[in-house]
A and B are shown apart, each in its own frame.
Chain A
Amino acid sequence: MLRVIGKRLALLVPTLFGLSVLLFLWVRGLPGGPATALLGERATPEAVARVNELYGFDEPILLQYFTYMGKLLQGDFGTSIITGRPVLEEFATRFPATIELSVVALIFAIGVGIPLGYMAARHYGKVLDHGSVVLSLIGITIPVFFLAFIFKYLFAIQWPILPPDGRQNPRINATHVTDFYVLDGLLTGEYDAAWDAFQHLILPGLALGTIPLAIIVRITRASVLEVQNADYVRTARAKGLMEKTIRSRFILRNAMLPVVTTIGLQTGLLISGAVLTETVFAFNGIGSFLRDAIFELDYPVLQGFVIFIAILYALINLLVDVSYSVIDPRVRVQ
């Protein structure tokens, strides 16, 4: 197991290297060069020259690359053009929000998706099955921002049972230790604050979790259907094993492999869904920050973000692989 993890981590190095080169070339390839991207088309040649000198854009590209990587390895992602703060600091204050939101969305998607998909397969062709298929189709086809808007309109404005925006009611004046608000509330014993933060996560979490939920339902259903008709299941039944044992040991377990892959992929996609969800719910995570960065061509933020996401994706993939070997020991043997 350790060897697999080590190997995957080692593979991360060339991946990130390739990515950093591409990113680096992209920024230098911006129309008019990075200085113009920063200053705008109106910039005077003197201003462009000044910025080129200040940021070292006039140095040989190889030297620029090594300087950038050198700083990156020391955790210096540069300074955001929009906010004037270090990119890493911006990420550090905003990522907890997005991660908190993604975790809730994922728990919702997995917690409801797997049982529903499994039940649909067990009741194949019946009302529950048809219902789940229709529901998951709806879930997949409705864009996440629209769902977010509908949820907010219904459950926060028309029928105000949940908070419509933000991460926490600012009137609570909660203490923040980790910037994971629910966790902070639990750690500091401010249970009201934790509860309030949790309530703020429900609507955006549901909106963000709906698409992965729909996909997980479909994959689980299909996978369980396939496995429950497999030869070895029939053999097990013929041997007289208890139905309960067959279901838990044979069907559910073996059906989980494609589901785990899907969950891994969906986890990565949650971040992009968060951009829209966070905007609708005024949820101040990385999503809304990234949207501004794209509009303003805040390239230190964009560069840093891509690198960060690449690491995150790689880690999620690793986690998926590790889960494989837990679920299916044959993977471990390989």
Chain B
Amino acid sequence: MFTSTSARGTHPTKKRAAAITAGAAISALLLSGCVQSQREEDGGAAAEGEVDSTFVFAASSDPASLDPAFASDGESFRVSRQIFEGLVGVEPGTADPAPLLAESWETSEDGLSTTFALKEGVTFHDGTEFNAEAVCFNFDRWYNFTGLAQAPSVSYYYNNLFRGFADSPDAAVYESCEVNGDLEATVTLAKPFAGFIPALSLPAFAMQSPTALQEFNADDIGGSSEAPQLSEYAEGNPVGTGPFKFDSWNVGADLTVSAYEEYWGEQGDVQTVIFRIIDDPQARTQALQAGTVDGFDLVSPADIPLLEEEGFMIVPRDPFTILYLGINHTVEELSDPLVREAIHHAIDKQALIDQTLPEGTQLATQFIPDVVDGYNEDVTTYEYDPERAMELLAEAGYPDGFEVQFNYPTDVSRPYMPTPEQVFTNLSDQLSEVGITVTPAPDVWTPDYLDRIQGTENHGIHLLGWTGDYNDTDNFIGVFFGQEKPEFGFDNPELFEALSEARGMTDREEQTTTYEEINEQIAQFNPAIPLAHPAPSLAFAPRVDSYPASPVNDEVFSMIELNE
């Protein structure tokens, strides 16, 4: 019986066996063939010696939204900065505001009205003219957001800086926008806002084409505030005035923009930018080494020497960051100012920087980098002095030191803290020298770590930091110490009041002096310990001659210079 049944199946079996063998043979052939072809391709490109106008940049994730008004993350803004321009830009290489689509502006004495003179001859990528009407359309659009668009998770920056919408005018900072002529618009605020002009340099307040916003229902977002669904505009129809227009977005793979021919400014070497999405940091480094991308951001400090040795260009940004050791004042020992001072003296910031942070990192004496208004050159500092630290601890009643929980995040890399685990180890060592024993408390960055630090009292000392959005002191110290927060657990009404007053000041000079005083007040109170202003670095292929690194990431790729 067996023989007879098997006979029926002879042919298919034979065929299958043959197919398998053939498959293996073809695979082997293809393998050797592709080796050949790859070599030829590489050789060919190098031999021509022309500038390849396609620039490939490795991004760490997809943009969250192509509509910058509904975005707040770095990767969204990186793309936005190519497509859109705001009324205000920044002085190249600095965080200071500079004219962009507005050639100049004038603010009334009470600080409430600003009249913008607009650049002439600017068009949006869809042909719509950029004029005063377009400016007012954008301001009114933000102010009139309703429903989901008002959620802080959706219109993050408008919420934070302009505080309220048309249906809550009491809270709103914005009042109205008036068209004075084709190229002049006046924006009136309901309350003073000293940071108004610098804030407009944020991509969230970039000018977008009124035609496209309406055509693709930009404000029509679905889902919930926790999981908002993008509008048709934000998914694939962004239209700005920038040097590059949007081409395509393969979610999870790449996003392409190409030169806008009618651009008012100079176009430069790069005609097409491809953002390749590579979420693994190691894979980004390897992609650069293998030549499949031309550059990437946030290079791990450990990779820098190796990449430099291999001939890649490392471009450090001027530090616009702060890394600090947070202190929870609800822990008994830590509530004692003597103990906080002791911890400050126990830390050798320079050693920490040399051993764990990237080149270009500056030592921090206060919670703002030196380019931010209100930086106090003469602020009280605490030199590294372990002897003094031990004396202070003894004075505070802890001659043998004490034990404290040390919270730090794992598996995360931030511009201000590329390798948290290393920073933790380094600081733990230093603290143990003066008798402070730490209990390690690692957590994954999100949601665990942030939830624990920012939402609960269950932590001791911790690592956290900040990257500034634009040149505004409040954007640093106001965020940290402007109100009572579980992160620090202290109530210092004097400090809260001072910060609140400074934020509302209209006179820039007066504000700067006030912030200098506040920085001294903070240094004396020692609510936490500023450690360093780490400099995030970018890495580029040798064919890149220069890259317009900016402390606030205002990097437009039309400025890139290529040699090959």
CB within 8 Å of B: which residues of A? 38-42, 51, 54-55, 79-81, 83-86, 90, 93-94, 107-108, 110-112, 114-115, 152-153, 156-157, 160-171, 173, 176, 195, 198-199, 202, 232, 236, 248-250, 252-253, 279-282, 284, 288-289, 292, 295-297, 300, 326-327, 329-330
7 residue pairs, one from A and one from B, having the closest CB atoms: A42-B455, A284-B252, A164-B290, A282-B278, A111-B24, A41-B451, A111-B23
Which positions in B face A, CB cutoff 8 Å? 2-3, 5-10, 12-14, 17, 20-21, 23-24, 27, 30-31, 34-35, 37-39, 42, 54, 56, 62, 64, 223-224, 226-230, 250-254, 256, 274, 276-280, 282-284, 286-287, 289-292, 444, 446-447, 450-452, 454-456
Nearest A residue to B52, CB-CB = A171
Measured between beta carbons, the chain B residues less than 8 angstroms from A280 are 280, 282-283
Q: In the complex, how many angstroms separate the beta carbon of B40 from the nearest chain A beta carbon?
A: 12
- Is there an interface contact between A161 and B254, defined as CB atoms closer than 8 Å? no
A248–B452 CA distance with the chains assembled, in angstroms = 65
Where chain B touches its partner, the secondary structure class is helix
B227 touches A80 (CB 8 A): yes
> Bound complex: CA of A86 vs CA of B230, how far in Å?
10
Question: Nearest Cβ in chain B — how far from A64, in angstroms?
Answer: 16
Q: B21 touching A284 by the CB < 8 A rule?
A: no
Q: Which residues of B contact A162 (CB under 8 A)?
A: 34-35, 38
When chains A and B are docked, how far (Å) is the Cα of A111 from the Cα of B20?
5
Contact of B31 among A51, A202, A252 (CB under 8 A): A202
A38 in contact with B30 given A282-B287, A326-B12 (CB within 8 Å): no
B446 proximity list for chain A (CB < 8 A): 295-296
Contact B2 A232 (CB under 8 A): yes
For B456, the chain A residues whose CB sits under 8 A away are 41-42
The CA-CA distance from A80 to B446 in the complex, in Å, is 17
A residues less than 8 Å from B444 (CB atoms): 295
Known contacts A81-B227, A156-B286, A282-B277; 16 additional CB pairs below 8 A are: A79-B229, A83-B62, A84-B228, A86-B229, A107-B23, A160-B290, A161-B39, A164-B292, A165-B286, A166-B292, A195-B37, A199-B37, A248-B10, A248-B17, A279-B283, A326-B12
Chain A facing B: main interface SS: helix
Contact B274 A83 (CB under 8 A): no
Residue contact B224 to A54, C-beta cutoff 8 Å:
yes
A-B pair count, CB < 8 Å, reads 173
Q: Which of A38, A152, A171, A252 touches B54 (beta carbons < 8 Å)? A: A171
User: Does B20 contact A166, Cβ atoms closer than 8 Å?
Assistant: no
Q: Write the nearest CB–CB distance from B372 to chain A, whole angstroms.
A: 28
Question: When the two chains form their complex, are residues A161 and B34 in contact, meaning their CB atoms are under 8 A apart?
Answer: yes
List, in ascending order, chain B residues with CB within 8 A of A329's CB. Answer: 5, 8-9
* B20 contacts A115, C-beta separation under 8 Å: yes
B455 lies within 8 A of A170 (CB): no
Q: Are B283 and A165 in contact (CB under 8 A)?
A: yes
Q: Given A107-B23, A195-B37, is A170 in contact with B56 using a C-beta cutoff of 8 Å?
A: yes
The chain B residue sitting closest to A199, CB to CB, is B34
Interchain CA distance A81-B153 in the complex, whole Å: 12
